[in-house]
C-alpha cells in the first residue's frame, strides 16, 4: 500500500474514531455533570430545609424560655409585694401561683421536647449546653419555686423569696439571653453588621 493510501486510511480511521468517540466522551462528561448538578441541588434543598428548621427551633425555644420565666416572675413578684403590703390582698398572688402551677409543667415539657428535637439541628456541644440549661437550671429552679410557692410568702422565708426572685430576674434572664445568642451564633443565624454601624 502506497504512503498516500496509508495516509488516507489513517485519516479515515481517525475521522471515524473521532466521529464516534468524541460524542461518546462528551455525552459521558455531560451525564456526569448533570448528576453532580442534581446532587448539588438536592444538597442545597436539604440545607435550606435544615436552616428553616433551625430558625423555627430558635424562635420556638426562645418563646418557651421567656414564657416560662415570665410565668414564674408573676407569683414571685406578687408574693414579695404581699409580704410588705398592709392590705393583705392575696388575690393577684393566688392567681399568679395558680397560673404557674397550671402551666409550668407543660412549658417545661415543651422546652425539653424542643431540645430533644434539636439533636439533628445543632452541634453536639451546643445540644449539651441546652440540656445543661434544662436539667441544671430550669428543673432545680422549678423545684425551689414550687416549694416556696406552696409555703407561701412569710417573714420566715423572706430571704429565700428574695434570693429566688433575684435568681429568676437576673441569673435566669442572663442564661436565656446567652443561650439564645450562642445558639444563633453557632447556627450562623445572627445578623452581622458593618463595623462602626450605629443604630438609628
Grid cell, residue 179, equals: 443561650
Q: 3-class DSSP state for residue 195? A: coil
The domain spans of the chain are 54-186
Grid cell, residue 169, equals: 430576674
Residue 169 to residues 24, 38, 69, 130, 163, Cα–Cα distance (Å) = 72, 52, 8, 20, 10
* pLDDT tens digits, one per residue of 118-176: 999 999 999 999 999 999 999 999 999 999 999 888 888 888 988 999 999 999 999 99
Question: HEC string of 53-82?
Answer: HHHHHHHHHHHHHHHHHHHHHHHHHHHHHH
Any idea how long the chain is? 200
Q: What topology is assigned to 54-186 in CATH? A: 1.20.120
* pLDDT tens digits, one per residue of 65-123: 999 999 999 999 888 776 656 555 678 888 999 999 999 999 999 999 999 999 999 99
Amino acid at each position: 500500500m502506497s504512503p498516500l493510501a496509508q495516509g488516507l486510511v489513517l485519516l479515515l480511521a481517525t475521522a471515524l474514531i473521532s466521529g464516534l468517540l468524541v460524542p461518546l466522551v462528551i455525552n459521558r462528561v455531560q451525564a456526569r455533570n448533570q448528576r453532580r448538578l442534581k446532587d448539588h441541588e438536592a444538597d442545597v434543598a436539604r440545607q435550606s430545609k435544615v436552616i428553616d428548621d433551625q430558625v423555627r427551633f430558635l424562635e420556638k425555644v426562645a418563646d418557651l424560655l421567656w414564657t416560662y420565666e415570665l410565668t414564674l416572675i408573676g407569683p414571685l413578684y406578687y408574693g414579695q409585694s404581699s409580704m410588705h403590703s398592709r392590705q393583705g390582698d392575696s388575690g393577684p398572688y393566688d392567681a399568679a401561683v395558680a397560673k404557674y402551677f397550671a402551666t409550668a409543667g407543660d412549658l417545661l415539657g415543651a422546652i425539653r421536647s424542643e431540645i430533644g428535637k434539636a439533636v439533628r439541628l445543632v452541634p453536639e456541644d451546643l445540644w449539651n449546653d441546652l440540656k445543661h440549661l434544662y436539667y441544671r437550671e430550669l428543673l432545680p429552679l422549678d423545684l425551689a419555686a414550687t416549694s416556696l410557692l406552696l409555703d407561701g410568702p412569710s417573714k420566715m422565708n423572706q430571704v429565700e423569696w428574695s434570693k429566688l426572685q433575684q435568681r429568676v430576674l437576673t441569673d435566669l434572664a442572663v442564661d436565656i439571653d446567652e443561650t439564645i445568642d450562642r445558639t444563633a451564633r453557632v447556627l450562623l443565624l445572627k445578623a452581622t453588621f458593618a463595623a462602626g454601624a450605629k443604630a438609628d
